[in-house]
Amino acid sequence: MPHSLLKIGLAGFGNVGAGVYKNLEKNRDILRERTGRDLVVHRVAIRDPKKKRNVSLPKENVTTDLWDIVEDDEIELVVELIGGVDRAFEFVEAALKSGKSVVTGNKALLAERGRELFEVARENNAHIYYEAAVAGGIPIIKTVQESLIGNHIQSVAGIINGTCNYILTRMNEAGLQYEDALQEAQDLGYAEADPTLDVNGWDAAHKAVILASLSYGCWVPCDEIYVEGIEKVTKPDIDFADELGYIIKLLAIIKLHEKDRAIEVRVQPSLVPKGHILASVRGVFNAILVTGDVVGETLFYGSGAGQDPTSSSVIGDIADAAARCNNPGGLGFVTHDLYGKPLKVEDSVSKYYLRVQVVDTPGSLARIATILGDHNIGILSVIQPEDHDEETAPVALTLHFAPFGRMLEAKEKIARLDCVSDEPVLMRVEAI
């Protein structure tokens, strides 16, 4: 039985784009049998055709103009892998308006302009597929969208940036300082030459916004979530966490608050109990823990980045699109509007880790405890090493559950004490 062609326009031929083309060609026969369509990359938009690449393309399929893909009536499906926000938005919007469905791995685009793009898709009876935008090769989008469709998602907690997880793993296991672990990650190709979006938490934050929108049917504005990276995590914090029975991980937390129908979305370094499964996620791997009211806890683990894992997710979306191109009834995202108010980060509640460098004189710890008591924050434990500088000493405290806003107020007052020599370090202790 002959198979109909699905002509694809591929925008972007970097690491992931080349992987998509290579693996589509390699597995073309099995994809044809499984989808009933012959998947063909009809045109590829490349910024620099003279650049040497490990994957070769037929010259007749190459263009340097993105709009050639949009204007080509033979192309049914567009794959956007150019990155960025503004230019990508214009391109994807135009593709959708022309009636073409779109596959994208662009997390920043979806987090910042997704609301607009999905509305354009609805208006033009098109689809958006975005599995590769979160956690590389882990099929978390399809799982939440399809397998867990009968659940109210109660929470999502995840390690969704492999660069940060590698750095923190090396700091914990090899005793490296942050700068040395980052340099090692760059040397191995796990971190970009400019790692800012990874280490400052925003790469994970964009993914968290997408997961929150998928779980709760509304878009949480990027400027209404709390984001903190790993740049200020130090070896003393790693050591204190270890002594207290924890490992530091950069966690994305997405949580539903039924009482006020609010969604909590935040990304920050957090102390995870050593016995928790997320604490065992090492190196560049990702893991996402999803809790539903019917299914309970489910864990998804795998490679969060890289050419082949990410291209696997893109190809999975292409296969889905092949099945849906002749069935315009469904969309890649369906909002259900059950919730819609982001929780203010000041109102989020957790336990805390607080490290303070204090002048080693009688009464210093008592003054800190007084401030915490005045803010109704209880102390769970205190550690002060005996071998320390003669003038100052690090003190690590773990603290009871308290609203984050109240904790920040207490931290600011502690920082102003004349017996405190450096800015206190505050991290959450996650009850996940």
Reported as a single tens digit per residue, the pLDDT across 108-155 is 999 999 999 999 999 999 999 999 889 878 889 888 888 898 898 999
Read off the pLDDT band of 388 (50, 70, 90). Answer: low
Q: What is the pLDDT of residue 354?
A: 97
Count CB-CB contacts under 10 A for residue 279.
Answer: 20
Give the range among 6-10, 118-122, 302-306, 392-396 with minimum mean pLDDT: 302-306
- For the entire predicted model, the pTM comes to 0.89
Mean pLDDT of 188-208: 92
Q: Is the pLDDT of residue 23 over 70?
A: yes
Q: Are 215 and 144 in contact (CB under 8 A)?
A: yes
Query: Residue 410 above 60 pLDDT?
Result: yes
Q: What are phi and psi of 235, to 5 degrees?
A: -60, -40
Written as six digits, the tokens of 130 are 């975005």
115 token code pair = 């609301």
Mean pLDDT of 359-380: 93
User: 94, 90, 134: which is closest to 111 by C-alpha?
Assistant: 134
* pLDDT value for 1: 45
pLDDT at 35: 86
If you average pLDDT over residues 10-24, what whole number do you get? 91
Domains of the chain, CATH where assigned: 4-129+308-324 (3.40.50.720), 140-304 (3.30.360.10), 346-429 (3.30.70.260)
Among the options 22, 51, 97, 207, which is catalytic?
A: 207
Residue 207 among the catalytic residues:
yes
Q: Is the pLDDT of residue 294 over 70?
A: yes
- pLDDT (tens digit, 9 = 90+) per residue, 162-183? 999 999 999 999 999 999 999 9
The pLDDT of residue 2: 53
